[in-house]
Amino acid sequence: MFMADYQIHTLSNGLRLVHQHINSDSVVGHLGLIINTGSRDEMKKENGLAHFIEHVIFKGTKKRKAYHVLSRLEDVGAEINAYTSKEETVIQAAFLTQDYERSLELIADIVINSTFPQKELEKEKEVVIDEIYSYKDSPAEQIFDDFDLLLFPKHPLGLNILGTKAKVRKFKREDVLSFIDKHYLAKDMVLSSVGNVDFELLISWVEQYFSNLSDRERKHQRKTPEKHEAVQIRKKKRVYQAHCMIGNRAYSIQEEKRVAFSLLNNYLGGPGLNSRLNLGIREKYGFTYNLESNYTALSDTGHFSVYLGTDKNYLDKTIALVQKEMKMLREVKLGPLQLKKAQNQFIGQIAISEESNANKMINNGRSLLSFGKISAIQSVNKKIRAVNAEDMQEVAQEVFNPDDLSMLIYY
């Protein structure tokens, strides 16, 4: 199948391959295996297991010891890495074009043939526990995890991706193998490629190395979060500055309103220095250095938050200013020039991010995994242009409703 500059192929076991060809001037290729499994797919006793597997999957296969796994790409100047989120695990590599097959074979080997030696598991537990400690040493990072628990109480989405020290200590090899057997299924994976390689040759390699992935249907069903009540909590901590999160649940990746809300979030507190929060608080008053808003659309829900770090003496004033900005967006529609400016800025940011082939690779894989297709940037831009002032105000009224906003403060 050929669509624009994206080519898609599905293996007999259900694994989908998407490839975006780039011109011959580029000498670097990117591969990523996006697995539709994250921390929300864990049972309570498994909290932290998806992330732990991301660590130990590099610790040896049926034909390679840990050293040889790490050296296979590093020896040719390439990189291999992985990360875990609430809903996905990604294993990715960047390499010279001449090492395409080498990189592809290694990803397949660690996903299909990892042996998880107990000795390596025990060593890696200490590494993960150190990672947990490092988060606890950083209140600006820990508050994001604690805020998840406010938005999604008694649900896996509210639990820390890293797990806890006690849980990690108890993980056994059988737990790892059981989780992989249940969740690492070909039909719930997308292999995404961006680079200068012939698609037919790429297909032949993928067929050779990934055909042993299980073709079973997914039995695990994700539990949709129940409704929750907004809460406001202040925690006394040993911190030099106060940290605050304000937010609410938002739209899932399947909801049309996510486009309008993505635009609204970017206008309110996105990376631009001219965001409403930055201009109205940091630039005008100098109350805070760290100030941003974030929106993540998940498969069946969403997550919106404003984060700020400020001097304790400015905390209440800064919170009041954030609330003022959200109230303004609820009550006053954007004018035509404001709306066009917001659209132009968001479209420009997306275009710049697409200049990165690594970003293209991840975005293509996620799109195919979530929607079964690749959305061309022109299509995305069209949807953003279609958002009107009424759409922006409507989503602001829904998500910024003060009765539904939760707040967490470290002071």
pLDDT of residue 188: 97
pLDDT at 192: 98
What digits encode the pLDDT tens for the residues 384-406?
A: 999 999 999 999 999 999 999 99
Hey, which residues does 171 pair with through a beta bridge?
none
The verdict on residue 216 lying in a domain is no
Verify that 296 and 394 share a domain, yes or no.
Answer: yes
Give SS3 for 260.
Answer: helix
Count of domains observed in the chain: 2
Residues 102 and 157 in one domain: yes
> Which domain covers residue 50, as residue numbers?
2-210
Among the three residues 151, 178, 210, which one is the final residue of a domain in this structure? 210
Position 153 in a domain: yes
Same domain for 285 and 405: yes
Q: How many CB atoms lie within 10 A of CB 344?
A: 12
Residue 249 has pLDDT above 90, yes or no: yes
Domain CATH for 381 = 3.30.830.10
Are 70 and 201 found together in one domain?
Answer: yes
Tell me whether residue 237 is in a domain.
yes
- Asked if 243 and 189 sit in the same domain, the reply is no
Q: What is the pLDDT of residue 25?
A: 73
pLDDT of 1 strictly over 60: no
Residues 191 and 268 in one domain: no
Tell me, yes or no, whether 283 and 367 share the same domain: yes
Taking only the tens place, the pLDDT of each residue in 10-25 is 999 999 999 999 987 7
Same domain, 158 and 102: yes
In a domain, 190, yes or no: yes
Q: Which of 176, 210, 244 is the last residue of a domain?
A: 210
Question: Does any domain span residue 226?
Answer: no
Cα 358 to Cα 374: distance, rounded to the nearest angstrom: 16
Residues 281/326/271/278 CA torsion (nearest 10 deg): -10
Let me know whether 243 and 121 are in one domain: no
Name residue 32's beta-bridge partners.
92, 192
Cβ atoms 231, 150 nearer than 8 A:
yes
Backbone torsions φ then ψ of 64, nearest 5 degrees: -135, 140
**13 CB-near residues (< 8 Å, 6+ apart):** 186, 187, 210, 211, 213, 214, 215
Same domain, 285 and 358: yes
Looking at the fold, whether 31 and 134 belong to one and the same domain comes out as yes
Res 3: pLDDT = 42
Has residue 203 been placed in a domain?
yes
List C-alpha distances in Å: 381 to 355, 363, 376, 378, 385: 15, 15, 9, 5, 6
- Asked whether the beta carbons of 89 and 38 are under 8 A apart, the reply is yes
Please report whether residue 95 resides in a domain. yes
Domain boundary among the residues 149, 175, 210 is at 210
Together in a domain, 175 and 261: no
- Asked whether residue 219 is assigned to any structural domain, the reply reads no
Of 27 and 345, more confident: 345
**Residue 292: what pLDDT?**
97
Beta-strand (E) ranges in 349-397?
none
